[in-house]
Amino acid sequence: MRHLTAALLLLAAAPALAEDEIGVGLPAPGFSLKTLNPEASGTSWFRLDQFVGEEPDDPKARVVLLSFFASWCAPCKRELPFLVQLDGMYRDQGLRVVSISIDKEEPGIAAVRRLVADAKVTYPVLSDRFNVLARRYLGDKSPLPSVFLVGRDGTVLRIERGYAKDASAFLLAEVQAALGIERKAGTPGGTAKKLQ
């Protein structure tokens, strides 16, 4: 009888666990974090629901790219200039890029500020110093860099956790697909046209 009661309690708790799951096609967990670059990004706090969900504050936003990174992560450092480039190329078409630093100590946070300034990042860079958001999105291991594309409706469109290779090819293709943009046939480097 005791085992049956425990099993019923676990089954009753299952829906709550499913709500916290992160996966393609599932709602992206909302959050609000302080920015590390308020002067460049124009905001001191970032809320995901400003850009996605039923009534976003930014009606032009169509896709949010969340990139988790750290100052000590070499692939993250390689990714940063490309994210700046994506932001410049597709901001007017509805892409909103956001980087989230998981650095916990002040020297790491200071290093992130320098990286962001050197790369001339104008999109929001957030500090998840206590890794509350990272644990929710990445789990306990926090593979870096990790990218989540979130659609206008607030659902996760794509997840890439801890990729080690150059991200530019798949990120460009995924961003273009999410925005409804298609590469012109036979053009290297991703010259794009809008789908009709």
Residues 108-151 pLDDT 10s: 999 999 999 999 999 999 999 999 999 999 988 768 999 999 99
> What pLDDT is stored for residue 171 in this prediction?
85
pLDDT at 187 over 60: no
pLDDT digits (tens, 9 = 90+) for 8-17: 333 333 333 3
Query: What is the pLDDT averaged over residues 165-194?
Result: 69
- Mean pLDDT, the chain, rounded, equals 84
**What are the sequence ranges of the domains in the chain?**
22-178
pLDDT at 40 over 90: yes
Per mean pLDDT, which of 36-40, 53-57, 72-76, 189-193 is the most reliable? Answer: 36-40
SS (H, E, C) the chain: CHHHHHHHHHHHHHHHHHHHCCCCCCECCCCEEEECCHHHHCCCEEEHHHCCCCCCCCCCCCEEEEEEECCCCHHHHHHHHHHHHHHHHHHHHCEEEEEEECCCCHHHHHHHHHHHHHCCCCCCEEECCCCHHHHHHHCCCCCCCEEEEEECCCEEEEEEECCCCCCHHHHHHHHHHHHCEEECCCCCCCCEEECC
> What pLDDT is stored for residue 166 in this prediction?
65
The CATH topology of domain 22-178 is Glutaredoxin (3.40.30)
Q: pLDDT band at 183, cuts 50/70/90?
A: low
Q: Is the pTM of this model over 0.85?
A: no
> What pLDDT is stored for residue 85 in this prediction?
95
Q: pLDDT band at 90, cuts 50/70/90?
A: very high
pLDDT at 191 over 90: no
> What pLDDT is stored for residue 31 in this prediction?
97
Alpha carbon distance 8, 157 (integer Å) = 33
Query: What is the pLDDT averaged over residues 176-193?
Result: 64
